[in-house]
Amino acid sequence: MIHGVRGAPDIGPPDSKRLWQRLERGARELLERYDYAEIRTPVFERTELFVRGIGEGTDIVEKEMYTFQDKGGESLTLRPEGTAPAVRWYLEQGRFEPGSLVKVYYIGPMFRHERPQAGRFRQFHQIGAEAIGVAAPEVDAEVIQILADLFGALGLRDVALHLNTIGDAVCRPVIRERFAAYMRERKDELCADCHVRLEKNPLRIMDCKNPRCQAAVAGAPKAAESLCEPCRAHFGRVRELLDLLGVPYALNDRLVRGLDYYTRTTFEFTAAGLGAQNAIAGGGRYDGLIETLGGAPTPGIGFAIGMERVVLCLKALEPKAEAVRDGVYVANADAAGALRAPLVARDLRRAGSRTAMNLEGRSLKGQLRQANGDGFRYCVILGEREVQGGQATVRDLESGEQVGVPLAELCAWIAGRAGGAAGR
């Protein structure tokens, strides 16, 4: 037997329908109500897109990319995230006016060569959204509101929004330099990785999990103290709007995020009960990225949700009780019933019911057991008597009641009785 690859789990029943499709459907419907349109970009891109987009000094680019040479000798990379590909798409379209807002979303697998653990995988799935073209803080608030709406609608509990601003091209260098100067004085307290970060990307020291590094960071100058006036005003307005919309947040001045393209607003949603990997979504503004990737200066902001982690939350919420019964099993009692069953099943499916029938050559008793075990609500029994009389025997597997229903009315009867439940 050949095993699947470590850190790249399969997704199958019952979770695929009950959790994954539910999350995906909920997100799609919500994003389309916010007027986002779907894009589907390839799972691989030229390596350079990510090196330039995400930044050379980041963990993703330095350690985590699945990079390979294709047969033409070109260096390609399995996408570790969706923002750089979305911006590439935006630029290649070449039809968008600066100042007009382009709102897109994507759902699909991402690939990072990280150490697999609970909530962290090498192939994982994101639902991402990007709003490109407008710098107004109203866009930031709307983007964050989508996530708050989605997690609320899914019934997730103990979700917290962490909010920060990290400045722009004007004040970010000041923030970084003040932080680096403070850290240089405490270099002896830092781990080996942070020595490298200090040279390459000092703000990333804030993300180090090493307790000594964290202690060293505790007293460091905060970004908020060095913001330029436009960044300060922008952040103030974002907060005002979130307050207005009733979206609660906690300010977190250590939230720097692991990708280099961010400017101004950054945010993360965390959920309780997930252990160390508790970020269920993250995002922020990236007003310099489009220029970095060869476009005219164009602002943008977006987020990505980690689907595996949200699914874990949904799973924890599931009631322990038996799942609701739905759909119809078409059983046959004899040869005449077996000949009629495919027609009845076809009609039930056309009418919208989840429907299965006896393809396994089971006895009637075996079929009833199967229908029960597979969670069907009704079992329609067809035999010579039913076919001749034009009336099916229908057993409600929830109550155990059994009634006769004219075959011509069966679909309507099921649909009406179940109040739509049969069709779910």
Q: Token pair of 208, please?
A: 């180090």
Nearer to ligand HAM, 80 or 202 (CB): 80
Quote the CA–CA distance of 105 and 100 in Å, as a whole number.
17
Report the DSSP pairing between strands 44-46 and 66-69: unpaired
Hey, which residues does 283 pair with through a beta bridge?
267, 303
| Token pair 């689907």 in the structure block, residue | 307
DSSP symbol at 202:
G
Nearest residue to ligand HAM, scored by beta-carbon proximity: 306
Q: Which is nearer to ligand HAM, 282 or 337 (CB)?
A: 282
In this structure, what token pair is assigned to residue 196? 């490298």
Contact 111, 123 (CB under 8 A): yes
Residues 204-243 that bind ligand HAM (CB under 6 A): none
Q: How many residues bind ligand HAM (CB under 6 A)?
A: 26
Q: Which of 26, 59, 107, 126 binds ligand HAM (CB under 6 A)?
A: 126
Task: Decide: is 283 part of the binding site for ligand HAM (CB under 6 A).
Answer: yes
Q: Which is nearer to ligand HAM, 217 or 255 (CB)?
A: 255
* Euclidean distance between CA atoms 158 and 152, whole angstroms: 10
Q: Residue 232 CB, nearest distance to ligand HAM (Å)?
A: 22
Stretch that binds ligand HAM, among 70-78, 113-121, 208-216, 374-382 (CB under 6 A): 113-121
Nearer to ligand HAM by Cβ, of 164 and 353: the residue is 164
Q: Find the part of the chain contacting ligand HAM (CB under 6 A) among 17-25, 192-200, 245-253, 305-313.
A: 305-313
Q: Which of 160, 161, 155, 157 is nearest to 19 (CA)?
A: 155
CA-to-CA distance for 305 and 331, rounded, in angstroms?
43
CB atoms within 10 A of CB 317: 13
**45 in contact with ligand HAM (CB under 6 A):** no
Q: Does 55 bind ligand HAM (CB under 6 A)?
A: no
Look at the block and give the residue holding tokens 């990290």: 166
Interface segment toward ligand HAM; rule CB under 6 A; list 76-84, 95-103, 154-162, 170-178: 76-84
Structure tokens of 319? 């009631």
162 is a site residue for ligand HAM (CB under 6 A):
no
> Smaller CB distance to ligand HAM: residue 106 or 376?
106
Q: Which of 45, 59, 130, 168 binds ligand HAM (CB under 6 A)?
A: 130
The contact pattern for ligand HAM, residues 250-279, with x = CB under 6 A and - = no contact, is --------xx-------------------x
Decide if residue 203 touches ligand HAM (CB under 6 A).
no
Cα-based torsion angle of the residue sequence 323, 328, 329, 334 in order, rounded to the nearest 10 degrees: 150
Quote the least distance from Cβ 123 to ligand HAM, whole Å: 8
H or E element in which residue 284 lies: strand 279-285
Residues 6+ apart with CB under 8 A from 148: 161, 245, 247
- Closest CB to ligand HAM among 140 and 386? 140
Dmax (CA) of the chain: 93
Which of 106, 121, 249, 267 is in the footprint of ligand HAM by CB under 6 A? 121
The C-alpha atoms of residue 132 and residue 298 are separated, in whole angstroms, by 7
Q: Least distance in Å: CB of 350 to ligand HAM?
A: 40
Binding residue (CB under 6 A) for ligand HAM from 79, 103, 112, 239? 112
The yes or no reply on residue 26 touching ligand HAM (CB under 6 A) is: no
In whole angstroms, the minimum distance from the beta carbon of 301 to ligand HAM comes to 7
**Pairing of β 279-285 and β 263-271:** antiparallel
CB 212 within 8 A of CB 242: no
Angle at 354 between CA 316 and CA 368, to 5 degrees: 95
53 touches ligand HAM (CB under 6 A): no
Residues that bind ligand HAM (CB under 6 A): 81-83, 112, 114, 120-121, 124, 126, 128, 130, 258-259, 279-284, 286, 302-304, 306, 308-309
